[in-house]
Amino acid sequence: MTATTKHFMDYLESSIAKNWSSPALSDFDGNANYTYGEMAKTIARLHLLFAESGIAQGDKIALCGRNCANWAISFLAVTSYGGVAVSILPDFKAESVHALVNHSDAKLLFVGNSVWKELNTNEMPNLYGILSIENFELKDIKSEKLKLAHEQWDETFGARYANGFTVDDVKYTRFDMESPALINYTSGTTSDPKGVVVPWRSLSSNVQFGQDRIPNHAGWNMVSMLPLAHMFGLTFEFVYQLAGGCHVYFLSKTPSPQILMKAFAEVHPYMILTVPLVIEKIFKSKIFPALQKPLVRIMWNTPGLNLIVRKKVREQLMNAFGGELKYLIIGGAALNKEVEKCLHKIKFPYCIGYGMTECGPLIGYEDWFRFKQGSCGKIVHRNEIRIDSENEQKVVGEIMVKGENVMLGYYKNEEATKAIFTEDGWMRTGDLGVIDKQGNIFIRGRSKNMILGPSGQNIYPEEIEDKVNNLPYVIESVVVSRDNKLVALVYIDTEAIAKEQPEKNAAEIMEQNRLAVNKIMPGYCGISAFEIVKEEFEKTPKRSIKRFLYK
């Protein structure tokens, strides 16, 4: 640990003291609302429940439910008590939840109602009990000690804080930076679970970077829409926000465009964290069609007039996000280049971050006003980066990192931990890229997705897909290799085709697209066929395409 890393508990304790009566956590379109003081009181209540139930520091407590204020409070209660929070996505199948609860050695489980309905408690025999994440009621009891502690909860709390719970009672332990703060499972696989053990130094370093480079202020609003069981959403839509005294609104429902627009209009967030898919859909449905109008296109490319059009587009986009936006941070995958060019031209306050669960999550970031187009930022503070190639500026190689943000390893999986770290302590990211002289990171693709061309060329399907996705009527695509030939699977906008070109069939238009994209790609990246799929590609909870399903 470097001497400059500030413990997250320092941030939390200070923020609670400064913002005691200010709003902290709310369920959007829900009933739960907590000030910082009420949040701290509920954390203290849960601490007592843990202690009276026989939960010790270092014990694992699992959380599995949709985003809500009580999920957030449960997480803070577990970690500030000295337990290890185990975050499990509510989208996982029941058998996966059973397996991960058991694999993590969890003693308690906080669960959402929708998940609870599917669970079989007999499959998790080592739990002391299960509590509702919505209201902290007991769902299942295996420990008499827990049952008694829950029954006497109000009485015990009243006796402990006879004069009332005040800000002077908020004193959190600064746990060793190398000890685990949480375990985050990267998938619901039951055969070879990979629980990322995130130490306090990683969580603290990520929060400190946010406070240093993306400063926020008390009273600013935030919408939490990414899953809290993912490090991107957990760290930067929730934990880092509390460190600055912000007010976080949680979306418990699937963030459809209608729900998002309603939330942005009512909450007026200062920051939005999102994945490329969401931004690309907004541009394809709202921005690009307007820019294709003849007069607008002329004005867009005419010096002087283009400033008027770009200002108008910027204002429309800003209003769509609630009107108070200061940062649009995009992560999780590469952003479509045409969308990025447009954001850059209208001087929209965006940047593309780079990270992974194993780094809690940040690896790369740059302020939007210094951001180099096409990159994903520079290595963040207290970390190092290298490219595994003979020339990191010109020859693509695997990106490797080391430093404060890097995980301890995979829980009870020595083989996977050994495989991801080099002998000299660098962590392999599985991403391929280069770094320029200024330290900007450019990702070319995932090593596991790379296709070896017929003459030994390295083909990165993500780069081809970026071009394909800009073609008329293509919503999204996946490029695969079949019999040493590249095939583009495309999900298309059939309604737009029927409306705009009824005389042509979709296959004919896609063949025109294939010829067009092959003209701008190297010969070894030529697409042999476009194959239309009837449904949009299946996604992970963070809205990345499940590439492994498509061959």
Task: Give yes or no: residues 455 and 417 share one domain.
Answer: no
**Phi and psi based region of residue 21 (left: phi greater than 0; alpha: psi -120 to 50; beta: remaining):** alpha
Instruction: Report how many domains make up the chain.
Output: 3
**CB contact at 8 A, 357 and 184:** yes
Whether the per-residue pLDDT at 422 is higher than 50: the answer is yes
Average pLDDT over residues 160-184: 97
Task: Give yes or no: residues 205 and 139 share one domain.
Answer: yes
The pLDDT, as a whole number, for residue 178 is 97
- Specify the 3-state DSSP secondary structure of 95: helix
260 lies in some domain:
no
The pLDDT, as a whole number, for residue 466 is 87
Average pLDDT over residues 141-165: 97
Lowest mean pLDDT among 42-46, 91-95, 159-163: 91-95
474 lies in some domain:
yes
pLDDT tens-digit series, residues 303-354 = 989 999 999 999 999 999 999 999 999 987 778 888 999 999 999 999 889 9
Which candidate, 64, 66, 57, 42, places its Cα nearest to that of 153? Answer: 42
CA 294, 296, 297, 303 dihedral sign is positive
405 lies in some domain:
yes
Q: Which of 155-164, 457-466, 512-521 ranks highest by mean pLDDT?
A: 155-164
Instruction: Report the share of the chain in percent with pLDDT over 70.
Output: 97
256 lies in some domain:
no
pLDDT tens-digit series, residues 250-296 = 998 888 878 998 999 999 999 999 888 788 888 877 788 888 888 88
Task: Give yes or no: residues 467 and 422 share one domain.
Answer: no
Strands, DSSP E only, in 427-484? Answer: 427-435, 441-446, 451-452, 458-459, 474-482
- Specify the 3-state DSSP secondary structure of 424: coil
Residues 6+ apart with CB under 8 A from 122: none
Mean pLDDT of the chain: 92
CATH of the domain at 287: 3.40.50.12780
**Which domain covers residue 176, as residue numbers?**
8-250
261 lies in some domain:
no
Task: Give yes or no: residues 333 and 438 share one domain.
Answer: yes
The pLDDT, as a whole number, for residue 126 is 97
Confidence of residue 551 (pLDDT cuts 50, 70, 90): confident
Distance in angstroms (rounded) separating the CA atoms of residues 56 and 370 = 47
Confidence of residue 189 (pLDDT cuts 50, 70, 90): low
Task: Give yes or no: residues 479 and 441 share one domain.
Answer: no
Domain boundary among 405, 424, 446: 446
Confidence of residue 217 (pLDDT cuts 50, 70, 90): very high
DSSP 96-133: HHHHHHHHTTEEEEEE-HHHHTT--GGG-TT-SEEEET
The pLDDT, as a whole number, for residue 118 is 95
Which candidate, 380, 360, 356, 333, places its Cα nearest to that of 429? Answer: 356
The pLDDT, as a whole number, for residue 16 is 99
Confidence of residue 1 (pLDDT cuts 50, 70, 90): very low
pLDDT tens-digit series, residues 343-352 = 999 999 998 8
Lowest mean pLDDT among 85-99, 217-231, 297-311, 325-339: 325-339
Whether the per-residue pLDDT at 456 is higher than 70: the answer is no
The pLDDT, as a whole number, for residue 352 is 87
User: Which is it for strands 106-111 and 60-64: parallel, antiparallel or unpaired?
Assistant: parallel
Whether the per-residue pLDDT at 194 is higher than 60: the answer is yes
pLDDT tens-digit series, residues 365-379 = 999 889 898 899 999
Task: Give yes or no: residues 154 and 288 share one domain.
Answer: no
User: Which is it for strands 138-141 and 129-132: parallel, antiparallel or unpaired?
Assistant: antiparallel
Whether the per-residue pLDDT at 227 is higher than 80: the answer is yes
The pLDDT, as a whole number, for residue 9 is 98
Neighbours of 186 (CB within 10 A): 17
Which candidate, 258, 195, 196, places its Cα nearest to that of 225? Answer: 258
Task: Give yes or no: residues 310 and 416 share one domain.
Answer: yes
* Number of residues in the chain: 551
H/E stretch holding 216 reads none
**CB contact at 8 A, 152 and 144:** no
